[in-house]
Amino acid sequence: MNTTARELWTGRILLIVVMAVTIVPFVSLFITALHPPGTYPPGLALPEEFHWNNFLLAFDAANMGALLQSSFIIELGVVPIAILIATLAGFALGHLNVPFKRTLFIIFVLGLTLPFEGIIVPLYYQMRDYGLLNTQLAIILPLIGLFMPFAVMWMRAHFVNMPQELSEAARMDGASTWQLFWRVHVPLSRPAIASLAILLFLWTWNQFLLAIVLVDDPEKRTMAGALGAFQGQWGTDIPLLCAGSLLILTPTLIVFLVFQRQFVAALLQGAVKG
Amino acid sequence: MSTTWSTTDKASSHPSAPGPSDDLRRKRRADKVRRLRTGLPGLLLVAPALAFYGVFVLRPLVATVQYSFYEWNGISTATWAGVDNYVRLLTDPDLLGPIVNALQLIIYFSFVPVVFGVIAAAIIRKMGASRLAGISRTVLFLPQVIPLVAAGIMWTWLLATDGAVNQFMRVIGLDGLTRAWLGDFDTALPAVGVIGAWVNVGLCMLLMLAGMTKVDPSLYEAARLDGAGPIREFVSVTLPAVRQELGVAIIITVISALRSFDIIFISTQGGPGSSTMVPGLEIYYLAFFEREIGQASALAVALTVLVLIVVLPLNRLTRSDSDS
């Protein structure tokens, strides 16, 4: 009994220390964002007066309105299309009799570990030839392709587990493949689709490399890509840089905290299946 | 002896019987046509995904390999260079250095988070449904959710000369050790590594926790009854149970080390000197600033191959028997 209590306390203290180390950077960012703009505040010191106004200043200085608009265009271009075509492919590969099923699946899986850096150079010239450089499409189109390995694998894993009897019954009632998909399987797949949508939303928001290479204008980038540009711009105005960073990372925190369960489930299952 | 006989027998009997084999062939062909026809709707459903993947991933992948054999500045005509770019990759310290740095980063991005993740998960599992366990699970995972760029900005500030890290060291009397962590040749790479470790711990913890919750609690009881302490219990019960998750955690974090770009771009830009230069960043500089497309592509191929070399054996380790 005695050892259990001691173990428990050691465990608690260790956990609290690790949590503190995780939280301190966020706190430091937040406190620094409240210092007078243009100053170089020391570490974790509280300012004499809280400059909440910094968030507004950063919002204006970064032209955050235009940025948000661009980010949403990119999200709207990537997430629904990626979800739709990955669900179709996952349904076919997981549930239907498709010729070359295994080969097709292996081709998709091959892309799972591919580093984006490995294809960024030709992607740049490809986008230049299409005349898409410096437009949101230059980020949207490749991102859909790059998400396919994970998305198809994730949806296939879902459809593999759907009972065949269900489809047979629908076929008996005269459903075509298309009807079977939309009327029977999509409604039943909502949780799997929702999890994937949350993951893709965050990955798109956070995408940096494609954004800085394919789009010069920070106001046409993803949020993370724009953040990279601020750093150069306001490298010296630390409080504003911190306020801007907070503005950009807060939506991701909110999405995560709200959809925590689906997010974690998707990530774990996807990771282990990979 | 007898087996040799029987195989030659079978092989020779096949072509010598024209009637049934002709029938068989026709039937097989009809089968194939039918399978293709019934399979066509399925193929059509896969087509859009395959098209995006093919045009924006596979095609550039092939192009990278192709570019890597040329010398090209992106504007004038490319000239065939054979394996020159690869030879330079292996002999030029400026190009080999980033790869060595990336391999070193594996210690920080993978090894450290996996160890901390396992420990944290073991503690959290023991706490069961307590509030602390729930909160810490969420908190530890937060760094995974924010853009890596934001993580880079936070830590650049923490590790600065007047940042919180130095402030803390002064408080506990380690004044002598304070420095600009990211600007010092000796500490820049480990400092960048710490950022990666901070980001990856949560993912490792979560993966381990998922593995541990599958363990039958009676196993722990049995271990306790046999007089196992917490460490013994961990080694004999927990670790074997999370083998697969451990493999996954290692794969994901090792890949994140090899392809590190965002954090380094923001915090050090590869410097000081080239002490934190990594392949991803070097590809970016070579291709878009020095206009050495061929050399950048050769490095990109090397990076891709390196990831595969590391991942494939690890992947075999994690494959469980129940995999479909």
Q: Which residue in chain A is spatially nearest to B282 when comparing CA positions? A: A117
Q: What residue type is assigned to position B184 of the chain?
A: D
Q: Is the pLDDT reported for residue A158 higher than 70?
A: yes
Nearest neighbour of B261 by CB, restricted to A108, A117, A205: A117
Question: What distance in Å separates the CA atoms of residue A5 and residue A106, rounded to the nearest whole number?
Answer: 50
pLDDT for B109:
96
- Could you report the per-residue pLDDT of B4-51, keeping only the tens digit for each? 344 334 444 444 455 567 788 888 888 777 777 777 888 999 999 999
Q: What is the mean pLDDT of residues A160-167?
A: 88
Highest mean pLDDT among A40-44, B83-87, B218-222, B227-231: B83-87
Nearest neighbour of A28 by CB, restricted to B39, B67, B164: B164
- Could you report the per-residue pLDDT of A96-117, keeping only the tens digit for each? 888 888 999 999 988 888 899 9
In sequence order, the 6+-apart residues with CB closer than 8 A to the CB of A35 are A41, A47, A51, A54, A238, A239
Are A253 and B258 an interchain contact pair (Cβ–Cβ within 8 Å)? no
- Alpha-carbon gap: A198 to the closest alpha carbon of chain B (Å): 11
Question: What distance in Å separates the CA atoms of residue B6 and residue B174, rounded to the nearest whole number?
Answer: 82
Question: What distance in Å separates the CA atoms of residue B164 and residue B167, rounded to the nearest whole number?
Answer: 5
Least confident of A190-194, B38-42, B299-303: B38-42
- Alpha-carbon gap: A172 to the closest alpha carbon of chain B (Å): 16
pLDDT for B317:
67
Least confident of A71-80, B122-131, B241-250: B122-131
Q: What residue type is assigned to position A7 of the chain?
A: E
Residue with tokens 């988070």: B113
Question: What distance in Å separates the CA atoms of residue B164 and residue A28, rounded to the nearest whole number?
Answer: 7
What B177-182 contacts at long range (C-beta under 8 Å, 24+ apart), as own/partner pairs, is B182/B156, B182/B267, B182/B268
Residue % of chain A over a pLDDT of 90 = 51
Are B127 and A11 an interchain contact pair (Cβ–Cβ within 8 Å)? yes
pLDDT for A41:
79
Question: What distance in Å separates the CA atoms of residue B150 and residue B152, rounded to the nearest whole number?
Answer: 5
Question: What number of other Cβ atoms are within 10 A of residue B32's Cβ?
Answer: 11
- Beta bridge mates, B71: B79
Asked if B297 and A124 count as a contact pair (C-beta separation under 8 A), the reply is no
Q: What is the mean pLDDT of residues B169-180?
A: 86
Question: What distance in Å separates the CA atoms of residue B287 and residue B289, rounded to the nearest whole number?
Answer: 6
Confidence band, pLDDT 50/70/90 cuts, at residue B3: very low
- Alpha-carbon gap: A61 to the closest alpha carbon of chain B (Å): 18
Are A98 and B136 an interchain contact pair (Cβ–Cβ within 8 Å)? no
* CA distances for B73 relative to A184, A214, B169, B225, B293, angstroms: 54, 18, 48, 70, 6
Are A115 and B265 an interchain contact pair (Cβ–Cβ within 8 Å)? no
pLDDT for A223:
87
Q: Is the pLDDT reported for residue A270 higher than 80?
A: no
Confidence band, pLDDT 50/70/90 cuts, at residue A238: confident
Are B300 and A12 an interchain contact pair (Cβ–Cβ within 8 Å)? no
Q: Which of A177, A181, A178 lies closest to A155 in space, CA to CA?
A: A181
Asked if B281 and B265 count as a contact pair (C-beta separation under 8 A), the reply is yes
Asked if B282 and B105 count as a contact pair (C-beta separation under 8 A), the reply is no
Of residues B262 and A177, the one with the higher pLDDT is B262
pLDDT for B10:
42
